[in-house]
Chains A and B, each alone.
Chain A
Amino acid sequence: TQLLEQSPQFLSIQEGENLTVYCNSSSVFSSLQWYRQEPGEGPVLLVTVVTGGEVKKLKRLTFQFGDARKDSSLHITAAQPGDTGLYLCAGEFYNTDKLIFGTGTRLQVFP
């Protein structure tokens, strides 16, 4: 059973467009992390959100944690080819060492 569903699964856009990736679950998480993974490399942490309703910005990337701590979104403004990669959300349960990864969103940005 996949606890964290991401949508869309694939996204192919032109440079300069905006996009939003969603990460949804029926479970409550103590925190949610977003990673980006490029071919041949491990996932690289982008952000950790902890508080329900929290919004964090990282340059052109905006992350939001749902009020109920069950979902999150990643919005990219004016996408660039360097944003290309696999975007993964990952939720941590309370008082565990476990990080559950979402199904992933593969983004391709064309010049």
Chain B
Amino acid sequence: DTEVTQTPKHLVMGMTNKKSLKCEQHMGHRAMYWYKQKAKKPPELMFVYSYEKLSINESVPSRFSPECPNSSLLNLHLHALQPEDSALYLCASSHRDSSNQPQHFGDGTRLSIL
């Protein structure tokens, strides 16, 4: 069992829908990440939050909107997505008290855009 919990596990939505992906960890980690993973490809970094502040946005389209309400929660709000946005969305967390800290991943949300 992973210590990073992502919900929902699967999501099917139309291009005009608004939905949110949720991620939760209770390991006291102060850095949280969103990745996008297409089939047979490695994860690609989207956003990084460090101490609840957005520290990295990898030029992600504005139809993806991250939010970090507190140190344990990370959301990804979705609006007007395109079919090419269908992918596995992974959340991860790590300590930020020093460098070289490994990231712990959730099992992801598999998103399908109709």
Report the nearest A residue to B35, measured CB to CB.
A101
Asked if residues B42 and A45 are in contact (CB atoms below 8 Å), the reply is no
Report the nearest A residue to B105, measured CB to CB.
A42
Question: How many A-B pairs fall under 8 Å by CB?
Answer: 59
- Given A41-B107, A98-B56, are A48 and B90 neighbors across the interface (CB < 8 Å)? no
- Given A42-B90, A101-B43, A104-B41, are A94 and B107 neighbors across the interface (CB < 8 Å)? no
Q: Which residues of A contact B (CB under 8 A)?
A: 30-31, 33, 35, 40-45, 48, 50, 88, 90, 92, 94-95, 97-104, 106
Alpha-carbon separation in the docked complex, A42 to B97 (Å): 24
Contact residues in B for A100 (Cβ distance below 8 Å): 45
Contact residues in A for B44 (Cβ distance below 8 Å): 101
Q: Is B66 an interface residue (CB 8 A)?
A: no
Contact residues in A for B96 (Cβ distance below 8 Å): 97
The smallest beta-carbon distance between A51 and chain B, in angstroms, is 10
- Given A42-B90, A42-B108, A104-B42, are A31 and B56 neighbors across the interface (CB < 8 Å)? no
The smallest beta-carbon distance between A10 and chain B, in angstroms, is 10
Give me the 9 closest cross-chain CB pairs, A-B, nearest first: A42-B105, A101-B42, A31-B100, A97-B48, A45-B102, A42-B107, A41-B107, A104-B42, A43-B105
Can you identify 25 A-B contacts, CB atoms within 8 angstroms? A30-B99, A30-B100, A31-B100, A33-B103, A42-B2, A42-B92, A42-B105, A42-B106, A43-B43, A45-B104, A48-B102, A50-B100, A88-B42, A92-B99, A92-B100, A95-B99, A97-B33, A97-B55, A99-B33, A99-B103, A101-B42, A101-B43, A104-B40, A104-B41, A106-B40
